[in-house]
Amino acid sequence: MSDAASFPQAARISVRNAQLRGNLRHATRTIRSKRARAVAELADWDRLRAAGAAIKDRTLRHLDQYLEQLEAAVTAAGGTVHWAVDADEANRIVTRLVKATGEKEVVKVKSMATQEIGLNEALAAAGIRAYETDLAELIVQLGADRPSHILVPAIHRNRTEIRDIFRRQMGAWGRPAPEDLSDSPAELAEAARLHLREKFLRAKVAISGANFMVAETGTLVVVESEGNGRMCLTLPQTLISVVGIEKTVPTWRDLEVFLQLLPRSSTAERMNPYTSTWTGTTDGDGPSEFHLVLLDNGRTDTLADQVGRQALRCIRCSACLNVCPVYERAGGHAYGSAYPGPIGAILTPQLRGTASALDASLPYASSLCGACYEVCPVAIDIPEVLVHLRERVAEGGSVTRNGARVTIRPAKGHAAERVAMRAARWAFEHPRALRAGERLAARTRRAHPARLPGEPWSASRDLPVVPPEPFRDWWQRTHGGKEAK
């Protein structure tokens, strides 16, 4: 990842992609207004939101206890729990579990955690083919593409592009698309259905994530719209779920809050079409073998940071992406991880650190307009965390890495800025020096051009005209306008 383009570099290209901008603009605006309506229906939304945040905070505070409770409950229900400290370990565990079944294919339920760790690639390296079964994930997989949205991974594609991908690629992965496939949504969905059905009926192993894990009963919950998840969770013999440790909630009752917050925030539905829950294994019903891989991968370190830890409340609804003006223009790929948009800008630099140019640029990928915080169903103050992470990038400081406190140095490329900020602070502490500077600018004003070559501001905007006299001079000269003007 270290050689990946920084956010501004990637965005410079995507912002000029008119097709992408058009697709994103249309899609995010549609979801945006639907969400606003779905949320406005509930008179107690603010209280639900506060409850969601409070449940998550309480759980995170005692996460060690809840995880042990969860492990005991899953084990008692016939499942096996594995602990993965990082992506490599999680991938090794899953690969070993699949190999043990003797299978060479797995079906997958859409999952952020497995994208985060690059599971499909790890399985491919071990000769195992993973089939994505969520429609949008299928489009991404067939197009040899990367997801660009949490909920709608192929949001950057339009219908015509999807039809072309299906026609070109489906055959290489299984049942081909009909030759005369049109770009009508019904025909596209039917082609996907027929293609996927073969996979569901053949699969012996499924891999999923989970939206929630209930500690008291060891129950996992997947919330979805298409029913592909239900197929994967019930038909195969072996089910392996890879879940971030922060997905834990203490009790079933807590789901009452989240199952209202999540669908309204993500798909703008009162209730999502499919909610699957499973607890260990049940004889003669569903998978006979169940493995839960609990993924840390930077989460415990994130939990150690008082300001940053609120990012772990996230329920991946994607509302923050849909309202984000920066996401809308830059697109999801510019964020360089499984987590695009505002949540990615605060989560990735915490999970992965800020060592690479990309990760160090993410906290700055925001105008701090606050639209994300306003819609977040668990009230994550994303602007606050962004500014907090900017501080880490600009000034370095003490962070937790792999469980140990370490002091990190400021990221590269901030030395000049640091000097400028110190100089500005000095001037602001010395009003007389400030005034001298202002006067100098005023006196040379006629020489100031409206644009400066090679300077990022004036590439697209004229510079303001410096007035003949700063306010403080006017005030002093006229005693606040009481004397001659």
| Selected binder of ligand SF4 within 70, 97, 240, 315 (CB under 6 A) | 315
Is the Cβ of residue 278 or residue 373 nearer to other proteins in the bound state? 373
Q: Does 316 bind ligand SF4 (CB under 6 A)?
A: yes
Q: Does 317 bind ligand SF4 (CB under 6 A)?
A: yes
Under 8 Å between Cβ of 365 and 390: no
The residue whose two tokens read 């925030």 is 265
Which of the choices ligand SF4, other proteins, none does residue 429 contact, using the CB cut-off of 5 to 8 A by kind? other proteins
Which of the choices ligand SF4, other proteins, none does residue 399 contact, using the CB cut-off of 5 to 8 A by kind? none
* Stretch near other proteins under the rule CB under 8 A, chosen from 8-16, 94-102, 255-263, 268-276: 8-16
Under 8 Å between Cβ of 72 and 257: no
* Bridge partners of residue 274, in order along the sequence: 224
Q: Does 436 bind other proteins (CB under 8 A)?
A: no
Q: Name the packing angle between helices 341-351 and 382-395 (round to 10°).
A: 40
Is the Cβ of residue 128 or residue 379 nearer to ligand SF4 in the bound state? 379
Q: Does 7 bind other proteins (CB under 8 A)?
A: yes
Which of the choices ligand SF4, other proteins, none does residue 183 contact, using the CB cut-off of 5 to 8 A by kind? none
Under 8 Å between Cβ of 335 and 349: no
Q: Does 319 bind ligand SF4 (CB under 6 A)?
A: yes
CA–CA separation, 165 and 159 (whole Å)? 10
Element (H, E) at 26: helix 18-40
> Cα Rg for the chain, rounded, in angstroms?
26
Q: Does 176 bind other proteins (CB under 8 A)?
A: no
Q: Does 449 bind other proteins (CB under 8 A)?
A: no
Q: Does 318 bind ligand SF4 (CB under 6 A)?
A: yes
| Selected binder of other proteins within 417, 436, 443, 477 (CB under 8 A) | 417
The residue whose two tokens read 């009926």 is 201
Under 8 Å between Cβ of 215 and 73: yes
The three-class DSSP label of residue 426 is helix
Is the Cβ of residue 30 or residue 402 nearer to ligand SF4 in the bound state? 30
Report how many residues bind other proteins under the rule CB under 8 A.
Answer: 67
* Stretch near ligand SF4 under the rule CB under 6 A, chosen from 41-49, 83-91, 220-228, 369-377: 369-377
CB of 318 to ligand SF4, least distance (A): 5
Q: Does 343 bind ligand SF4 (CB under 6 A)?
A: yes
Q: What are phi and psi of 275, to 5 degrees?
A: -120, 110
Q: Which of 329, 324, 369 is nearest to 344 (CA)?
A: 324
Q: Does 192 bind ligand SF4 (CB under 6 A)?
A: no
* Stretch near ligand SF4 under the rule CB under 6 A, chosen from 84-92, 187-195, 196-204, 308-316: 308-316
CA–CA separation, 222 and 113 (whole Å)? 13
Q: Does 380 bind ligand SF4 (CB under 6 A)?
A: yes
Which of the choices ligand SF4, other proteins, none does residue 316 contact, using the CB cut-off of 5 to 8 A by kind? ligand SF4
Alpha helices (H) along 117-251 = 119-125, 135-142, 159-173, 185-202, 228-234
Structure tokens given for 276: 């699957």
| Selected binder of ligand SF4 within 320, 324, 393, 394 (CB under 6 A) | 320
Buried b (16+ CB within 10 A) or exposed e, 226-249: bebbbbbbebbebbbbbbbbbbbb
Under 8 Å between Cβ of 304 and 113: no
Under 8 Å between Cβ of 348 and 339: yes
Q: What are the residues binding other proteins (CB under 8 A)?
A: 7-8, 11-12, 15-16, 21, 325-326, 329-330, 361, 363-371, 373-374, 384, 387, 389-395, 417-418, 421-422, 424-425, 427-429, 431, 434, 438, 441, 450-451, 456-464, 466-467, 469-472, 474-476, 480-481
